[in-house]
Structure 1
């Protein structure tokens, strides 16, 4: 069926191109205009309802009317002369806060299709610094914290507040929530633009170096960007249709994934297309495109389905960010697979030999190329390459010893928001700018006892590490109450998470009013629950994903031993990547540990995406072993033909992920995934797997018997010559002369 699809696309190129152009533009438009309507920036919203912080948020929404997408901003107000606030100053701050809380903000939308976030903010006076140097205000703006339209609303409020207080010689500072988001985006804006341009430039440069043609670099990039927009649009459209909320980082991650694998698949096809044209100079370009895509199509389909299967397992996760991320990437990869089997063959058929203009050297085979020499070397000394590869992977894997998970936020550039937070922390408890909230609700809907609430507040206040607890505030019917808890430690630290998940929740459970439930939410509480949820998901997703990947390899390679060899090799690559990441970030940069999501992300990306290269080389080794040559000659030929495609594709994909390093939030993922892809392409697929295949011979395909025999018949000598391998007895064999084919069995 795959050959039928690719052949139809190659022979009906114009129809295929028009359909994809219309589809790509339409879906890209959907993705651009609706992304912020289906994404959620609040990690707590993705927690299962059984977790403590999720129960607290449920009470907040149902009993106090708080919206799930409320964004808290902390405003510091102080005198410009750094003196203590006077009584008049405090009265003015209170009046101004009340006035700001009544003024509706209407900001210009960044584009006509953006969500209208015009609103009246909630503004309330907060605590005063013990020395009287500043007072805090709490502000709430509802909406997606990553939506540029909401950023405009925040900026309008910030500028209005700054102006109002400045008229009375008071200065302001803004931190927390959307204030920190906006400042961080501005601080990293130039860097991210530069890295984006650098990534595109790297892709173009590598393709130009590989094919000596600008067209061969531009056409794949155009196709992949078109399909990438379609893939992201398909995910956003499906999320809107089925009422699914995506994590805010999902669309950008999809773009990176599709850019990388799309270029990979196009490169696989281009190298095989060039090989077909070189082997038959008179071959029609449509026929060459059909042959190339038909032969590579099975490997590309299996590679894509491996990614789909691996990420689809995230649908089993309990943590919502994982549960929606997996299917979202799976859908987008299916779109790219469809493009690989239709759009890409159509483009090859359209451009033909002109795709490689003005280069001419591609028309003849170079027996002394780097890939050819590497293939012969691997074939001659496979044991040395196996030991060398395993030694390198082993050294890197040693870093896994002592690995720790970190839930601390990544270090950010210094911004106005971070300076304000530091100033607050010097005068108030460390958690003052990011308070936690306890919610209490009577199970039967009755009125809560105020005395019991005061005793509960006192019990929480006595917990070591809690700096202050505000008086309980009841809702309208008295059935629920809330109180703010200010920790004396940074809310984003491991110490705060241990404090909230242990002693604080213990105090709530032991002193809650009779017949009532008490839960706490906030940064430390949410991430403590996320930690528990992620640990549970890792134990489920790893074995299921590995089993599905192994099943796909089994179906593709039709062998029991080959999939096992590949899975062991890929597993070594995963452990080596995780170890190297631990060495760099935990030990080298002295961080408390690696990001808690890194093991799962690496497993999925490095194992699933890295399998692409191993599938390609294995499929080519099997194809070469089906010819009447020795197993080592088959490996040499497979490496000669596929190593350039794998190396180029690996560098492109690694470069795509490396672009994430520009974002502090994605720094570890960008570095680690890029390194893992390089190990998968340059070490596993180019050296380790071919060397193992050379050692195992045709036994690698057990119980399937390969068709290839060195003594396959009288035409064996001609077949070997036609395959590009000198026949036994020629003057310059790549290996020592083989025994006569009719006197010795083939190396199996």
Structure 2
């Protein structure tokens, strides 16, 4: 037997060394994802969106596509001659900055004489370097001086602020996530050794996933943005630690029954791996459903996060078991499990008492918890009360946000980000007249051949391939609800002009088309995800009724989570609204991750039901898995909460929603609602499988 033990040890050592080599090769990619990330909102539009078509047509009117930065100077007592000289000097230096397309249009004074605005076109070919160009503009403009304030806003200013936020993902977010996982593992295991194995495995998973994502994004096979990059970090560490907790708990349990660690691991792996694989498979398939999205940003998140979960599954089912086998019982020091055939500690502690309470009050428990969750779901009425604008993306007042507020005070708020109307030359005059009558449109002018000087009303419009481009300045800020209503009204008006073949694009139009695509995606993807999860649960549990009940409980939990979060966002955090993608992302993560805990519970319940009967199996499964699943839920909630370190409202909202939803799933749904419901229904919960008939007959005999 010693020979066999030596061979097993050598195999485990080879697996560990192999994975350490993989980690050494892929590790550098964990800090380089920002190199291949793209954060341009226009790049994520559907190909058939009107704003996309308008952008393609507009590209014919310029040698190079540009993104404007708006440098705005304000003195509430009135702009002085010295201020105008400073603005002119700054504008001359702006034109010399690499990436700026000159010559610049002349500065635009406000009608009230309190502000001056300089439009600085930046070459779109600069990509992520737009952020560097904007920082150079801010350095040239300097800070506020003697009552004159200076801010850099506009689409380029906003993009630069987003790039700065996402640059913290590779460092700050990763460090915070590691610290959160480390602290929780120390609390859960109370061992100075054991925490190393899950954390090392999770780090290897992240490095492997980052390497694949980097290579695919660099080859333009997938598109990576900052949002997907941040979610990948917390998802891999959160899910990886969850899988590790489940395997380690089962391994500790089997060490009480087996003398040799490799025998204990073999039994633990056979018991835990199906649930872990089913859980990971559910998340992967749910995420890949995002490929059905019409938004490239959603399609980008799907494969990126799915790669992360696939890498995590591979590492946690190979590297972690090998580490634990090499560590043996000493890995659990100072609380080393002994071979004593003892029942798991959970069966004798708090979770045994909870199981007993569920057995005595099964029907009241699931009725009361269902009513409470339904009551929380009423908060959904607050979720759509407002819309999250582009300048509301940040939890802090960035330079671009402050600058946009200054522009709104002294100019038509849409100055610098006009709507573009591409129209057939023969109908251009009529379309311009119609556009001027649309409420919310402050001015309409054609694009002429010379854009360097002030607009000349008498200049003829520039015609390219029989198409004329009009620019409509909006009265409202370009990222506001009012501007989006104006775009919809403007489109309706110009589309009615015969023969115009008009397409309305621009910054606000991109937001409108993005929101419309997000609504379409929710209606398509959510039912597909539910079907996928139902099929996986039916195959795992070999039943139909149990999967339906589990999905119903998770949907109730999802609604309760969104209802509670809507109240928190509105009345506690004072957020202006939610991003258009938030409901879909929240659904995919909450339902896919929430069903995980039901998979962990019900797979063990089914295993125990074969041995003990359904009702006894429910209680035994709850008692044995209660501690580890609760710990896993806390880990996942804490890791997603780490998104709050990024000053971006959409990621803070998603992190809060997933954290709250996971805790509701773990503490209420999985601990009370599902066990009470399964206990009350009894053997019929496995209908129409053979286990339903076998356990039904067994419990009938017991009753007799």
Asked whether the 8 Å contact 1:123–1:138 carries over to 2, the reply is yes
What secondary structure, in the 3-state scheme, does the structure 1 residue paired with 2:668 have?
helix
Given the two structures, how large is their TM-score scaled by the length of structure 1? 0.82
Residues 669/210 of structure 1: CA separation in 2 closer, same or farther (3 Å cut): same
Structure 2: segments with no counterpart, 5+ residues: 1-6, 449-460
CA apart distance, 1:232: 2.6
Residues 288/10 of structure 1: CA separation in 2 closer, same or farther (3 Å cut): farther
CA apart distance, 1:341: 1.7
CA apart distance, 1:472: 2.9
Match of 2:436 among 458, 461, 472: 461
- Which residue of the partner structure matches residue 51 of structure 2? 53
State the distance in 1 between where 2:104 and 2:62 align: 16
Asked whether the 8 Å contact 2:69–2:134 carries over to 1, the reply is no
Q: How many pairs are equivalent? A: 677
Asked whether the 8 Å contact 1:378–1:690 carries over to 2, the reply is yes
Match of 1:745 among 689, 695, 701: 701
Asked whether the 8 Å contact 1:84–1:131 carries over to 2, the reply is no
- Which residue of the partner structure matches residue 494 of structure 2? 508
Matches within 5 A, 1:273-292: 273-280=251-258, 282=259, 284-292=260-268
State the distance in 1 between where 2:314 and 2:125 align: 32
Residues 540/9 of structure 1: CA separation in 2 closer, same or farther (3 Å cut): farther
Matches within 5 A, 1:235-254: 235-254=213-232
What secondary structure, in the 3-state scheme, does the structure 2 residue paired with 1:140 have?
strand
Residues 401/77 of structure 1: CA separation in 2 closer, same or farther (3 Å cut): closer
State the distance in 1 between where 2:184 and 2:57 align: 55
Given the two structures, how large is their TM-score scaled by the length of structure 2? 0.87
Residues 27/150 of structure 1: CA separation in 2 closer, same or farther (3 Å cut): farther
Match of 1:396 among 372, 376, 380: 376
- Which residue of the partner structure matches residue 100 of structure 1? 94
Match of 1:702 among 667, 687, 692: 687
Match of 1:378 among 344, 347, 358: 358
Matches within 5 A, 1:651-690: 651-662=634-645, 663=647, 664-690=649-675
Q: C-alpha offsets along residues 305-347 of structure 1, whole Å, 9 cap, x if unaligned?
A: 1111111111111122112211222222111111122112112
Residues 265/467 of structure 1: CA separation in 2 closer, same or farther (3 Å cut): same
Q: C-alpha offsets along residues 515-567 of structure 1, whole Å, 9 cap, x if unaligned?
A: 55332223321121112211211111111110011001111111122212211
Match of 1:334 among 299, 302, 310: 310
Matches within 5 A, 1:11-50: 12-30=11-29, 32-33=31-32, 35-37=34-36, 39-50=37-48
For structure 1, which segment, 242-251 or 303-312, has the greater mean C-alpha deviation from structure 2 after superposition? 242-251
State the distance in 1 between where 2:409 and 2:440 align: 16
State the distance in 2 between where 1:153 and 1:666 align: 26
Residues 89/360 of structure 1: CA separation in 2 closer, same or farther (3 Å cut): closer
Asked whether the 8 Å contact 1:36–1:144 carries over to 2, the reply is no
CA apart distance, 1:157: 3.4
Q: C-alpha offsets along residues 428-479 of structure 1, whole Å, 9 cap, x if unaligned?
A: 11222x522314254xxxxx36xx6455334323322122334432557574
Asked whether the 8 Å contact 1:310–1:548 carries over to 2, the reply is yes
- Which residue of the partner structure matches residue 139 of structure 1? 120
- Which residue of the partner structure matches residue 224 of structure 1? 202
- Which residue of the partner structure matches residue 535 of structure 2? 551
- Which residue of the partner structure matches residue 233 of structure 1? 211
Matches within 5 A, 1:139-288: 139-142=120-123, 147=128, 150-162=130-142, 172-182=150-160, 199-280=177-258, 282=259, 284-288=260-264
What secondary structure, in the 3-state scheme, does the structure 1 residue paired with 2:690 have?
coil
What secondary structure, in the 3-state scheme, does the structure 2 residue paired with 1:227 have?
helix
State the distance in 1 between where 2:529 and 2:165 align: 38
Residues 710/239 of structure 1: CA separation in 2 closer, same or farther (3 Å cut): closer
Match of 1:494 among 478, 481, 485: 481
Residues 77/424 of structure 1: CA separation in 2 closer, same or farther (3 Å cut): same
Q: C-alpha offsets along residues 556-600 of structure 1, whole Å, 9 cap, x if unaligned?
A: 111122212211111211121122122323466676654332221
- Which residue of the partner structure matches residue 109 of structure 2? 128
Matches within 5 A, 1:536-615: 536-586=520-570, 593-615=577-599
Asked whether the 8 Å contact 1:32–1:233 carries over to 2, the reply is no
Structure 1: segments with no counterpart, 5+ residues: 1-7, 106-117, 443-447, 713-740
For structure 1, which segment, 634-643 or 27-36, has the greater mean C-alpha deviation from structure 2 after superposition? 27-36
- Which residue of the partner structure matches residue 67 of structure 2? 71
Residues 91/463 of structure 1: CA separation in 2 closer, same or farther (3 Å cut): farther
Asked whether the 8 Å contact 2:365–2:676 carries over to 1, the reply is yes
Residues 207/429 of structure 1: CA separation in 2 closer, same or farther (3 Å cut): same
What secondary structure, in the 3-state scheme, does the structure 2 residue paired with 1:314 have?
helix
Aligned CA-pair RMSD: 3.5
Residues 660/10 of structure 1: CA separation in 2 closer, same or farther (3 Å cut): farther
CA apart distance, 1:611: 1.1
